[in-house]
Amino acid sequence: MAVKAPLPRSRGSLIVALVAALIAVLALSGCRPQSTGLTGAATGQFAIGQTSPINNLSPHPFSSSTQVWEKALFDTLVTIDPDPKPSLARTWEVAEGSRTYTFHLTPGVTFTNGTPLTAQVVVDNLLWAADPAHKVAGNAVLRPGQPIALDPNTVQIRFPAPVPQLLSTLAVVPIIDLTSDLATRPVGTGPFKVAEFVPNDHLNLVRNENYWDATRRPSMSTFNVRVYSDVSAATAALSSGQIQALAFPPFDQVTSLRKQGNRVVSTDAPGNFMIRVNTSSGPLSNQKVRQALAASINRDAFTQLTGDGTTQPNRSIYPPSSPVFAPEVGRCEHDLAHARDLLVQAGYPDGLDLTIDVSSVRQPEQTRFAQFWQQDLAEIGVRLKVKNVSGTVFSSNIIGGQYELSADWVPWGNADPALIFITATFTPGATLEKFADPEYARIVDAAQTELDPDDRLAAYQQINRYLVDQAFVIPIATRPFLYAVRPGIDSFDVDPFGMVVATSITSAA
């Protein structure tokens, strides 16, 4: 089900759908995802703006830089909507307790350069994606697998242990012509292909007239992405009509954007605004210090800053839309006295000095909130320096571990609960926060191989509590994906991962 505002789902119905997605072991077939937006048949040009830089056109690692255009260029073997649906794989079978997966490819698929999609091409993609050097989300899941081409149209993957999350993982692993230039002109099987790319300025795509899925061929003739250096320039471009949509507008501008006649398309919150904590050394390696920071956050104040009810306070790693969300874990606390006691217990009765990285381009909400948090922390003796950096430096510092605290966000908590562990934020043994605990790896491994649906959900609920207690990632509030869309665009859909469904976009005649 593609997502469009304002159609919230009940948590009960979502849980039923998600559990079905997690434990499905039968061959799946049926119709492919369809646009559920308003209809329109006119061919036109479409441009969308974003403030996240586009340094190159590799879809890896997945980020806010790739979400807007990834599905325009690439398809995946399966999609999640919210349960697994066919795409490049028409059908599949799961056998031997989720140890063996056999995929039957959709016939007649070609890349945009005319190269046919074959089983061997898929095998090559899976082996390439399993290499950690390529930064593919889910490489740790794929690495133990042994993919082979049974025939030109059939791929089989064998695993030494159960991998019940494989279908969800494959939904975020695009299939690429690996012989193409992945940096500047990658070739996929998607509904659009690259016409022109200028790094950190614009990406122009043109319609793939030979797109393999006749039921989803795009209406728009072009799909162009414009990169803006700041939010004000991006919103001005939307107001003037230079772009027809804006990815991830500031939350506090939602009301204003709506008053201007724009639609705000939103997903169920898949994750959280959060504070990333580098645990590699110093005071932040102490769990009680991290817990003190978590107790000092006024989450209600944060949601008041964002405005318009688009986000809600949350202390749980998983958002309320997740089947493993537990209300008692998500209950928020703002207790400065308790935070001070924790610092004393940690051996810092006189407080300490910390620095937080923020980026007004990447997370303007977090930048504003850091000033409020700074005042609360001063009351418990923590002297917080707020360092505002560019989006590029912000990302580089996180990847290189050159930060103490970083105001960021984390996605993918609303679908299969295993998915957050294919991100670099939560991958045991390789977290961006340098968190290392053998118990963490043990409980995640146990959950990821559990096949009983009830026991599987219980295992992830346990992990949720563990992560809140360890506090190397400190949630603040839920964060849905927002897109502002101008009048004249009749249909604009977003998938559960917050990616634009390029084939859904239609304009008024």
Percent of the chain predicted with pLDDT > 70: 91
> According to the model, what pLDDT value does residue 282 have?
95
> According to the model, what pLDDT value does residue 379 have?
96
Alpha helices in 24-146 (DSSP H): 70-73, 119-129, 139-142
Q: How does pLDDT run across 468-480, given as a tens digit for each residue?
A: 999 999 999 999 9
192 Cβ partners below 8 Å, 6+ apart?
72, 73, 205, 206, 207, 208, 218, 223, 502
> According to the model, what pLDDT value does residue 127 have?
98
Task: Give the pLDDT mean for 478-498.
Answer: 92
> According to the model, what pLDDT value does residue 65 have?
86
pLDDT band at 43; cut points 50, 70, 90 = low
Task: Give the pLDDT mean for 456-467.
Answer: 94
pLDDT band at 39; cut points 50, 70, 90 = very low
pLDDT band at 355; cut points 50, 70, 90 = very high
Higher local confidence (pLDDT), 473 or 419: 473
Is pLDDT above 90 for 297? yes
Please give the backbone phi and psi of residue 504, each rounded to the nearest 5 degrees, phi first. -85, -15
Task: Give the pLDDT mean for 177-196.
Answer: 97
Task: Give the pLDDT mean for 252-256.
Answer: 90
Is pLDDT above 80 for 278? yes
DSSP-derived 3-state class of residue 490: strand
> According to the model, what pLDDT value does residue 26 have?
30
Distances (CA, A) of 183 to 54, 126, 138, 198, 382: 10, 19, 21, 11, 43
DSSP-derived 3-state class of residue 3: strand
- HSE-CB for 373 with a 13 A CA cutoff: 31
Is pLDDT above 80 for 345? yes
Cα–Cα distance measured from residue 129 to residue 107, given in angstroms and rounded to the nearest whole number: 23
Q: CATH assignment of 271-479, given 3.20.20.70, 3.40.50.970, 3.10.105.10, 3.40.50.2300?
A: 3.10.105.10
Q: Largest Cα–Cα distance of the chain, in whole Å?
A: 69
Is pLDDT above 80 for 255? yes
Percent of the chain predicted with pLDDT > 90: 72
> According to the model, what pLDDT value does residue 3 have?
37
> According to the model, what pLDDT value does residue 432 have?
94
> According to the model, what pLDDT value does residue 231 have?
87
Distances (CA, A) of 493 to 34, 75, 396, 482: 10, 16, 31, 11
Q: How does pLDDT run across 372-396, given as a tens digit for each residue?
A: 999 999 999 999 999 999 888 998 9
DSSP β-ladder status, 89-95 and 271-277: unpaired
> According to the model, what pLDDT value does residue 83 have?
83
Of 63-67, 207-211, 412-416, 456-460, least confident by mean pLDDT is 412-416
Please answer whether residues 232 and 443 qualify as being in contact, where contact means their C-beta atoms are separated by less than 8 angstroms.
no
Helix (H) or strand (E) holding 276: strand 271-277
Task: Give the pLDDT mean for 212-222.
Answer: 94
pLDDT band at 41; cut points 50, 70, 90 = very low
Is pLDDT above 90 for 15? no
| 269's tokens | 């919150």
> According to the model, what pLDDT value does residue 94 have?
97
> According to the model, what pLDDT value does residue 500 have?
95
Task: Give the pLDDT mean for 235-263.
Answer: 94
Helix (H) or strand (E) holding 195: strand 192-198
